Structure 1
Amino acid sequence: MKKILFFLVLLFIVYLIGINTVPQYIESQRNPVKSPSPYTVSSEAQALYDRLDFISDLHCDALLWGRNLNERGERGHVDFPRMREANVALEMFTIVSKSPAGQNMKSNSEDAFDNITPLTIAKGESPWNWFSLFNRTLSQSEALSQFVDKEDGKAIFIKSKADLEKLIEARKTDKTVIGAMLGIEGGHALEGSLENLEKVYAAGVRMIGPTHFFDNEFGGSAHGENGAGLSEFGKEAVRKMNEMGIFIDLAHSSPAIVEDVLNLTSKPIIVSHTGVRAVLDSQRNLSDEQIQKIAANGGIIGIAFFDMAVGEPELPNIVASIKHVRDLVGIEYVALGSDYDGSVAVPFDITGLPLIVEGLVNAGFSEEEIRAVMGENVKRFFLTNLN
């Protein structure tokens, strides 16, 4: 009995050590920054950046890793203090609940081993989350709510147009007030239940991508195996999301789902983090025809920052991707969609956003166009379309 007790105590100690070291190590490996801060740009670019009223990013997975977003981190890409350093007004925090082992841009099996399960256990989360995608989703939703609450009014959880208007008004006199929205990366998080759609809405979710790296109940992923369009459940969910005021995010969706959603939806859509095939010919990126249809829908396209979406070197290709969308359909349809903290290596963390402004200045973009890309388009989109 004493040996068993000793073994159990030893196992518990190892577990405690693990939850305080393993997640941090995994994140440091999965979310490197190629050029660490601080970042410097030309005086012209910095002056323009400092004049920007509203900077926004459409995609960040920081909730996945268990970091305290109220504190400035030494790893990863985004937290509340670094948002303030970069004068970022609004960040879309997205929930990742499942990710297949061996994930790649070409093909992933729905039955592949899930990377998020061991991470969930290693973070010391409740056993209720270990094997439930939906419980993981609610847990990350609650985490964002708690991070916002700890800011004592200096952060606003954006769930409505009124919340966004409150953020805009607050920042007229206090630029340290920041906004956070909540999205879901992959409709598998709903576990095939429309009732769960109502529950995540109540938890603050206002954007959902039908698929992530694998096929699911909604239909096919751009990186899955079947290439299918929307299933009957997917069609019903899209209609329900339209009714409720949840935006549909077409990043990672199969071309057939992109087509089906654009034909079915009654509301403008989002592509939260993507590249364009004219810059990097990848199956996760948008074709010119898709870009034109998204613009006709009144949607908005967030350009990602990592090499598998834009190619290398990243910064000039980010600018080239933004320019391509502008030249094809107009500046009003393009925004930033970093994919920060999304198991990707990025050229700079969120405090490096002035580098994009410098790149846009050097590419001949006007100040009005730069303002649009850096956040005004997102602000306008949400003011127009949030309930």
Structure 2
Amino acid sequence: MHGSLLVGDLHADSFLWARDLADTSDYGHLDLPRARAGNLGIQVFTAVTKSPRGLNYEENAADSGDNITLLAVAQGWPPRTWDSLLQRALFQAQRLHQLASQHPSAIAPVRTAGELRDLLTLRGEGAAPPAAVLGIEGAHPLEGKLENIDVLYDAGFRVMGLQHFFDNELGGSLHGESGAGLTDFGRRAVVEMARRSIIIDVAHSSEQVVRDVLSLTERPLMVSHTGLKGHCDSARNISDSLMQEIAAAGGLVGVGFWDGAVCDPSPRSVVEAIRYAIDLLGVEHVALGSDYDGTVAVTFDAGELGVLTEEMLRQGFTEAEIRRVMGENLRDFLLTQLPAS
């Protein structure tokens, strides 16, 4: 059954690391051979550009230092990335495009609904590589300039998280110090993202930012990698009631695979979180949000995604529920929310 599914995932940080994703690795969570083994058909790859030292789920200061600077230098990233968050995002986009140009039968960047539709048609004929959609984890690569939305858009970014683990120019993080909502700059950025049909991801945003975004735009939101508070009472997860508001506005929620999201990262617990999300939000609003290659520990990698299908069957999911959660909901969301052409 797993081999017949369209499998999709809302969040992986794989281009942050100095690995050749064309080759199978014995570390990390995702590469192209493992994607093929796990029948992965759609992957959102997210560019991480800043991570505070002493990172935690409760509270991080924006000026507490930056682990990515050290990582960029140590991994030999171009000097332009050492002091520019924008250039770090563009460099990770460049890595995806170079990989696709070298291995066009193994991965295909997607910028529009039309490109995704064409790939899905080829996939139905057994001839398509996985679709790769670019996102950013926190919109601090805008560096306080609205015009950088265009720069990132032109580089292929179609999903933009507003915050990561700290408050930024756009507003408060779920793990920041202020708990604040959108700033004036954040409001203008959200309006511009919506105008460009950029998907807004609030996975790390404060609850007030989420409410502000819901009131500001009619476009559905994404929570790319998270858990459900009622299933796992973690500081990483926003309230169930706010999740219901996101779903009621047409949003999509990606259930994570690590302990901070689901408390117990076993396939059983991940699937229990998915069931909880379905019962709370409706099956059409639930997807996978692995956080592969983030700073998390998981119990199964991209080559082993079939364990979720097996566990869903064991827990009594219907075939229709499995197909929707494993990838069809993500497919439908992208086809309606990506720029048409």
Q: Please state how far the C-alpha of 1:132 moved relative to its aligned partner.
A: 0.9
Structure 2 unaligned residues grouped into runs of 5+:
none
Q: Alignment partner for residue 298 of structure 2, among 346, 355, 358?
A: 346
**Alignment partners' CA distance in 1, 2:277 and 2:112:** 28
Q: How does 1:4-43 map to 2 (within 5 A)?
A: none
**Alignment partners' CA distance in 2, 1:153 and 1:75:** 23
Residues 310-363 of structure 1, C-alpha deviations (whole Å, 9 max, x = no match)? 112532221121111111221000000000000111111111111111111111
Larger Rg: 1
Do 2:234 and 2:263's aligned partners in 1 also have CA atoms closer than 8 Å?
Answer: no
Do 1:291 and 1:325's aligned partners in 2 also have CA atoms closer than 8 Å?
Answer: no
Q: Please state how far the C-alpha of 1:168 moved relative to its aligned partner.
A: 0.3
Matched, 1:86 2:45: no
**Alignment partners' CA distance in 1, 2:106 and 2:301:** 22
**Alignment partners' CA distance in 1, 2:265 and 2:220:** 32
Do 1:156 and 1:163's aligned partners in 2 also have CA atoms closer than 8 Å?
Answer: no
Residue matched to 1:5: none
More deviation in 167-176 or 368-377? 167-176
Matched, 1:63 2:20: no
Residue matched to 2:50: 98
Q: How does 1:357-372 map to 2 (within 5 A)?
A: 357-372=309-324
Matched, 1:201 2:188: no
Give the letter aligned to residue 276 of structure 1. Answer: L
The alignment partner of 1:182 has SS state of strand
Q: Name the TM-score, length of structure 2 as normaliser.
A: 0.97
Residue matched to 1:12: none
**Alignment partners' CA distance in 2, 1:99 and 1:313:** 23
**Alignment partners' CA distance in 1, 2:137 and 2:170:** 12
Do 1:268 and 1:297's aligned partners in 2 also have CA atoms closer than 8 Å?
Answer: yes
Residue matched to 1:240: 192
The alignment partner of 1:97 has SS state of coil
Residue matched to 1:187: 139
**Alignment partners' CA distance in 1, 2:79 and 2:3:** 46
Q: Please state how far the C-alpha of 1:205 moved relative to its aligned partner.
A: 0.2
Residue matched to 2:171: 219
Residue matched to 1:317: 269
**Alignment partners' CA distance in 2, 1:224 and 1:168:** 39
Residues 142-185 of structure 1, C-alpha deviations (whole Å, 9 max, x = no match)? 11111111113442211001110111011122255211010000
Percent identity between matched residues is 47
Matched, 1:256 2:211: no
The alignment partner of 1:180 has SS state of strand
**Alignment partners' CA distance in 1, 2:199 and 2:337:** 9
Do 1:228 and 1:257's aligned partners in 2 also have CA atoms closer than 8 Å?
Answer: yes
Residue matched to 1:170: 122
Q: Alignment partner for residue 130 of structure 1, among 67, 71, 82?
A: 82
**Alignment partners' CA distance in 2, 1:340 and 1:154:** 18
Matched, 1:300 2:238: no
Matched, 1:51 2:4: yes
More deviation in 238-247 or 281-290? 281-290
More deviation in 134-143 or 310-319? 310-319
**Alignment partners' CA distance in 2, 1:234 and 1:66:** 32
**Alignment partners' CA distance in 1, 2:266 and 2:172:** 28
Structure 1 unaligned residues grouped into runs of 5+:
1-47
Residue matched to 1:269: 221
Q: Name the TM-score, length of structure 1 as normaliser.
A: 0.86
**Alignment partners' CA distance in 2, 1:211 and 1:355:** 31
Residues 71-125 of structure 1, C-alpha deviations (whole Å, 9 max, x = no match)? 2222100111211111111110000000001100000010011000111001111
The alignment partner of 1:325 has SS state of helix
Q: Please state how far the C-alpha of 1:66 moved relative to its aligned partner.
A: 2.2
Do 1:251 and 1:284's aligned partners in 2 also have CA atoms closer than 8 Å?
Answer: no
Matched, 1:157 2:109: yes
CA RMSD after TM alignment: 1.1
More deviation in 73-82 or 54-63? 73-82
Q: Please state how far the C-alpha of 1:279 moved relative to its aligned partner.
A: 1.1
1:359–1:286 CA distance, 2 compared to 1 (3 A): farther
